[in-house]
Amino acid sequence: MNKYLEKIKKYFDILKESKISPANLSDDTRKLVIGIIFCLGIIFILTGHLIPATGQYEVGDESPLTIRAPQSAVVIDSEETDLRRELARTGVDPVYEENRVAFNDTMDQISQTFSIIHDFDSETDNIADLNYELNFLNQNFSQEELELLVGFSSDELDRFEEVTEGVLREVYNGRVASDQMDEIYDELEQRLIDTDISGDVRELLLSFIEPALVPNLIYDETATEELRSEMANQVDPVTREIATGEVIINRGEEFTSEHLELLDQFGLNKSDLSWFQITGIALYFIIITLVMVYYIRGYHPKIWKENKSINLIQILLLILFILARILTAFDLNLLMYLAPAAMVPILLSVLLNSSIAVAVTFYITLLLPLIFGGAFSIAALAFVGSMVGIFSVENLSQRNDLVRAGFNVSAALIVTLVMFSFIEPAYSAIDTLTIMGIGLLNGILVAIFANGLLPYLESLFGLTSSVKLLELSNPSQPLLRKLLVEAPGTYHHSVLVGNLAETAADNIGANSLLARVGAYYHDIGKLSRPYFFSDNQFGGENPHDNIKPNLSALIIKSHAKDGVEMAKEYNLPPAIVDIIEQHHGTNLISYFYQEALKDSDNSNFNESNFRYDGPKPESKEAAIIMLADICEAAVRSKNFNKSNHNRIEVLIKGLIREKLIENQLDNSELTLKDLNTIAESFTRILTGIYHQRVDYPDDIEEEMGEKSNGKAK
């Protein structure tokens, strides 16, 4: 392992010496580098358990860590299998080869023995010679037995021979196996004891029979072992199910042969890296990631172009997979269900959009189970929890809604986990209660992480969530209250522009919430000099009457710059700051430009001094606010009192056409169809606001005035 770390360190030293830094890289190169780092990080997390912590383990070694099953599997129980196979072996009867001539050989030997004894003449023959002859027949008698034999009369010998042959016939009616001779001798002796034969004669009879007894069944050891092996091999291996995350051996416990066998079956007891498994997981991950990349590039090109959005997705996935890997370090199997998978889709739904969140849900569902050994239950929980979380934040209106989403996730996970406890018979009632608690805790963790990370992610990645926008739309916000008090005309103008922008954005599929809130703040720069703007003059003296046109133009256009500075001071989101900066584009401040043209002293002035500094709108929302701003102001200034609809429609379309011709909308991605929809939307709303009113007769006006005065009193 050390050599791999040394190679990585050497690689970073080379990068340092080459002075390669992110600032020197193009956007595409930076995205590629970060993407490679992300992929390597996830692959390491997914395959970290395949890197051996030590060399091979042996029986008696102390386990340095708690080792878990990396995946659910059916493993062979060798101890039980060996026991059953041994029972099968011992249940096989010995194999014997039949000796068909055994009985005849025995009877011939007995007949020859008695014939020799019959021929013995005690007066002329020597007992020693008799014993010598009997030894050739494998008959060994003691001196006392020989004397007893030769003392029998001929009839007694015949009777003795008859008894001996009868006993042998009786014995040979059964099995006389070569490996059971001791048992047969014992049985034969017991039979003779049960008769009325005297002890001396009985012992003599046994002396005759034992050496003559030849087995009629010869034990075949080779055939017996073959048959026993065959029967043992026919016994199927005994298996048992190992659940994902089940502890194989605890830290500090000594290894037994059973432990080592389980490790071998899971491929965990080896000193070399499992390159085959690592390669398979890496290829699977790369394929899933490429599908995800092509999806975002094809269906969400705007998000793909924003490095911050891609980086957000990568960071959240890394956080989730690291948390999941940490959970595998604990000894409790059910803790794997604590992985807060729904956290990532919920945050992405709030910060980006729900379609990206759904795509990432599938991504997590396909990859997260690899950390827990491919458990299907983890995939199901990740999918169900994430989808419920996405649905729960679809209409988010405040940060507390994230807590509600967390409890919705808890409910969904509890139902899913209980369902799996019914499917899995290994779960006890206590296990079921435990996983219900884990489901509840998972949802709580999702709510905690989502609530805790959201403000930091907004700040770190410069993203604006719907929650933040809704908070900013509250009239009690300090900046809006300040605008209402110090520049009430601008405030009411901004509210009208917000209504126009929200409706138009909604009609063309833009971010209507961002358009409305951006409109509320687009003119906050006027707070620096509120009475220099007609919104707040209320028929009083116009300060522009006393200054030069070029100075007036400078004051007017400075409200965009002042607004940006004020927005940053109040920590408004970057999206709002961009709208403030871009909502006038590079438009010409035409009134003061024309006034300057009339002034003979300004014959050589620069037109750029009478244009806003820009930039031009770079988003649909900023462009909509620009158009809503000029259209609302223009319609209000006309004081229409009849035939409002047609005249307002002509005015609005003319203003939009003018901005299109001046190329102010080039960077906004608005289409001609969008512009037509926007014009229709503006016309409908402004006609409703500035509709034609009936002129009241003077006497009615006087009467209404008197009633008002009376009420005032």
pLDDT tens by residue, 474-518: 999 999 999 999 999 999 999 999 999 999 999 999 999 999 999
Predicted confidence at residue 628, as pLDDT, reads 96
The 10 Å CB-count burial string (b at 16+, else e) for 308-342 is: ebbbbbbbbbebbbebbbebbeeeebbbbbbbbbb
- Angle 354-371/343-351 helices, nearest 10 degrees? 160
Please report, rounded to a whole number, the percentage of residues in the chain having pLDDT higher than 90: 37
Predicted confidence at residue 708, as pLDDT, reads 44
| Between 54 and 439, residue with greater pLDDT | 439
Average pLDDT on 622-646 reads 85
Write out the two tokens for 113.
């023995």
Judge whether 493 and 536 are in contact, CB under 8 Å. no
Cα(33)–Cα(678) distance, integer angstroms:
41
Record the pTM.
0.65
| Between 539 and 277, residue with greater pLDDT | 277
- What Å distances lie between residue 422 and 240, 418, 464, CA to CA? 19, 6, 43
Choose among 527, 474, 517, 477: nearest CA to 494. Answer: 517
Per-residue pLDDT band for 295 (boundaries 50, 70, 90) equals: very high
Residue 96 host element (H or E): strand 96-98
Predicted confidence at residue 377, as pLDDT, reads 83
Predicted confidence at residue 697, as pLDDT, reads 60
Reduced 3-state DSSP string for 478-528: HHHHHHHHHCHHHHHHHHHHHHHHHHHHHHHCCCHHHHHHHHHHCCHHHHH
Per-residue pLDDT band for 607 (boundaries 50, 70, 90) equals: confident
Write out the two tokens for 16.
């340092």
Residue 73 above 70 pLDDT?
A: yes
Average pLDDT on 569-597 reads 91
Average pLDDT on 637-647 reads 73
| Between 31 and 664, residue with greater pLDDT | 664
- Angle 488-508/512-521 helices, nearest 10 degrees? 160
Predicted confidence at residue 222, as pLDDT, reads 86
Maximum Cα interatomic distance, the chain, rounded to a whole number of Å: 183
Residue 242 above 70 pLDDT?
A: yes
Ranges 48-52, 457-461, 501-505: which has the least confidence: 48-52
Residue 378 host element (H or E): helix 376-392
Average pLDDT on 188-194 reads 73
Cα(316)–Cα(296) distance, integer angstroms:
16
Residue 704 above 70 pLDDT?
A: no
Predicted confidence at residue 381, as pLDDT, reads 92
Residue 521 above 50 pLDDT?
A: yes
For the ranges 39-53, 393-407, 502-516, the maximum mean pLDDT occurs at 502-516
Predicted confidence at residue 2, as pLDDT, reads 47
Cβ neighbours of residue 4 under 8 Å, at least 6 residues apart? none
Cα(178)–Cα(169) distance, integer angstroms:
17
What are φ and ψ of residue 62, in 5° steps?
A: -90, 130
Residue 192 above 90 pLDDT?
A: no
Per-residue pLDDT band for 591 (boundaries 50, 70, 90) equals: confident
Judge whether 72 and 243 are in contact, CB under 8 Å. yes
Write out the two tokens for 208.
């005759």
Write out the two tokens for 682.
């503006």
Structure-token match 């500075």, residue found:
565
Predicted confidence at residue 294, as pLDDT, reads 95
SS3 141: coil
| Between 387 and 461, residue with greater pLDDT | 387
Per-residue pLDDT band for 54 (boundaries 50, 70, 90) equals: very low
Residue 631 above 90 pLDDT?
A: yes
| Between 513 and 373, residue with greater pLDDT | 513
Cβ neighbours of residue 269 under 8 Å, at least 6 residues apart? 56, 57, 260, 263
Residue 79 above 70 pLDDT?
A: yes
Q: Which residues pair with 73 in a beta bridge?
A: 242
| Between 469 and 420, residue with greater pLDDT | 469
Structure-token match 């050989």, residue found:
105
Per-residue pLDDT band for 124 (boundaries 50, 70, 90) equals: low
Predicted confidence at residue 21, as pLDDT, reads 52
Q: Dihedral angle at the C-alpha atoms of 339, 343, 345, 348, nearest 10 degrees?
A: -140
Predicted confidence at residue 271, as pLDDT, reads 53
Structure-token match 């709030």, residue found:
350
Cα(177)–Cα(170) distance, integer angstroms:
15
| Between 96 and 24, residue with greater pLDDT | 96
| Between 100 and 288, residue with greater pLDDT | 288
Cα(686)–Cα(292) distance, integer angstroms:
44
Please report, rounded to a whole number, the percentage of residues in the chain having pLDDT higher than 70: 83
Per-residue pLDDT band for 15 (boundaries 50, 70, 90) equals: very low
| Between 297 and 91, residue with greater pLDDT | 297
Cβ neighbours of residue 287 under 8 Å, at least 6 residues apart? none
Q: What is the DSSP secondary structure assignment for residue 704, as one 8-state letter? A: H
Average pLDDT on 168-185 reads 74
Residue 713 above 60 pLDDT?
A: no
Predicted confidence at residue 86, as pLDDT, reads 86
Predicted confidence at residue 297, as pLDDT, reads 93
For the ranges 116-130, 214-228, 237-251, 485-499, the maximum mean pLDDT occurs at 485-499
Per-residue pLDDT band for 623 (boundaries 50, 70, 90) equals: very high
Residue 413 above 60 pLDDT?
A: yes
SS3 125: coil
Kindly report the average pLDDT of the chain as a whole number.
82
| Between 26 and 230, residue with greater pLDDT | 230
Predicted confidence at residue 711, as pLDDT, reads 42
Strand 67-68 and strand 217-219: the pairing is: unpaired
Q: What is the DSSP secondary structure assignment for residue 394, as one 8-state letter? A: T
Average pLDDT on 228-256 reads 81
Instruction: For residue 175, give the amino acid letter.
Output: R
Predicted confidence at residue 676, as pLDDT, reads 96
Residue 705 above 70 pLDDT?
A: no
Domain spans in the chain, listed from the N-terminal domain onward: 2-50+274-463, 96-219, 476-698
Exposed, middle or buried, 540 (CB in 10 Å: 0-12/13-18/19+)? Answer: exposed
What secondary structure does DSSP assign to 269-322, as a single string?
S-SS--HHHHHHHHHHHHHHHHHHHHHHHHH-HHHHH-HHHHHHHHHHHHHHHH
Predicted confidence at residue 1, as pLDDT, reads 42
CATH number for the domain whose boundaries are 476-698: 1.10.3210
Cβ neighbours of residue 461 under 8 Å, at least 6 residues apart? 308, 309, 311, 312, 351
How many Cβ atoms from other residues are within 10 Å of residue 170's Cβ?
A: 11
Average pLDDT on 148-176 reads 75
Cα(504)–Cα(497) distance, integer angstroms:
11
Average pLDDT on 346-357 reads 94
| Between 489 and 641, residue with greater pLDDT | 489
Write out the two tokens for 640.
């229409």
Predicted confidence at residue 609, as pLDDT, reads 87
For the ranges 154-158, 534-538, 682-686, the maximum mean pLDDT occurs at 682-686
Per-residue pLDDT band for 5 (boundaries 50, 70, 90) equals: very low
Write out the two tokens for 560.
């965009």
